[in-house]
Amino acid sequence: MATNRNVAIVGGGHANWGERDATWKDLAQEGGKATFDAVPGVGPEDIEGLFVGAVQPERFAYQSHVAPMVAELLGIEVTEMIARTELACASGQAALRYAWLAIAAGQLDVALVLGVEKMNLGRDYMPEMQGSMANVLDREFDGVNGLSAPPFFAWYAQRHMHEHGTTREQLSQVAAKNKSNAAKTDFAHFQTEIEPEDVLESPEIAPPLHLYDCSGITDGAAGVILMSEEKAREVTDTPAWITGSGQSSMAGNSINNLPSFSGWPQARKASQNAYEQAGIEDPLEEIDIAEIHDCFSISEIIEYEELGFAERGGGGQFIEDGRSHLDGDVAVNPRGGLLGCGHPLGATGISQALEVTQQFQGEVSQGRHVADASTGLIHNLSGSGSVHSVMVLDRDPQ
């Protein structure tokens, strides 16, 4: 798929992530303000298009039609295009993709992409929250049988261990790496460095997964501003150019139709499409930073394989050899991933893209800065892992 104009992310910001005593509206305003504060010279009056990533605000915040509400809260009079995107855990990346395509097609020059999620409604609401999360699966068939996320991903872990010899220690190494990276990330939900043995000492949730193998239930927001090349060059000398994007779905929501329980061929297809657009032939050699969807520790191991960093079945060895650490072959999840930052669903993909942008710009903590990085990737899975989304960012336009 060809696009006509180069498109860049020029900057953005976060609300603080965690179990917040804040409303959905509060988070939207915090995230929006942080985004505008990070891009001097750009204000609400410059925004032509607004794209809001949000998952089930009707249930979490009892509010629908949230994109116009965000425009109102941030003082934006949208003149060209406005939409809310909903694709479960990939809602933020979907919003990015639509904004990118609108600018590339010449429909817009400047867009704000904001992801917002308010998931913690108090302990009394935990059963309702968990019930709402089951909506991303086939609720009629899978949800009523208790198939929430932890047992679903535990199946993947069990099968990957059975087929490829992946070890419990390798899962712990993923969780320890990402949570320790998050300790250097100021907005992250979890900011404590841990060791692999700490993961096994955390409570068991769904064998073989323990608590620290699972991403948190997190409130948060993240925003970025996208611009056409002409506009971007007026704002910054170090934008992040979107050079490729891919999506693939090989099933619906029902687990009965998934092609595998030890891999995601749909992630492989989505990444191949993105790589082809971006001109990447060898992702292991050419990708410097990868922000990937580690909703559970097993997810990252499988994604090493499907994104082309390791051979099939070699993901466990990839982490064991340190090849996904900050000083490894590919710095995977330097901000701390979902395991460390938390996972406010609609904000996650946007935060990933902002991390790559800020890495290029040198605006992250030196403790997790990837020196001389020039190419980055973001990846999200959504629903029952049936949909995978990949985007490639580069220091230089094509």
Residues labelled as active-site residues: 89, 343
Give the length of the chain: 398
Contacts for 123-129: CB closer than 8 Å, 24+ residues apart: 128/59, 129/60, 129/217
DSSP class of residue 394 equals: E
Strands 49-53 and 81-85: parallel
Q: Report the Cα 307 to chain-centroid distance in Å.
A: 15
Helix axes 297-306, 168-182, angle to 10 degrees: 100
For residue 210, the number of C-alpha atoms closer than 13 Å in the C-beta half-sphere is: 18
Let me know how many helices (H) and strands (E) the chain has, helices first.
Answer: 15, 12
Q: Are 376 and 358 in contact (CB under 8 A)?
A: no
| Residue 364 neighbours by CB under 8 Å, 6+ apart | 185, 334, 335, 355, 358
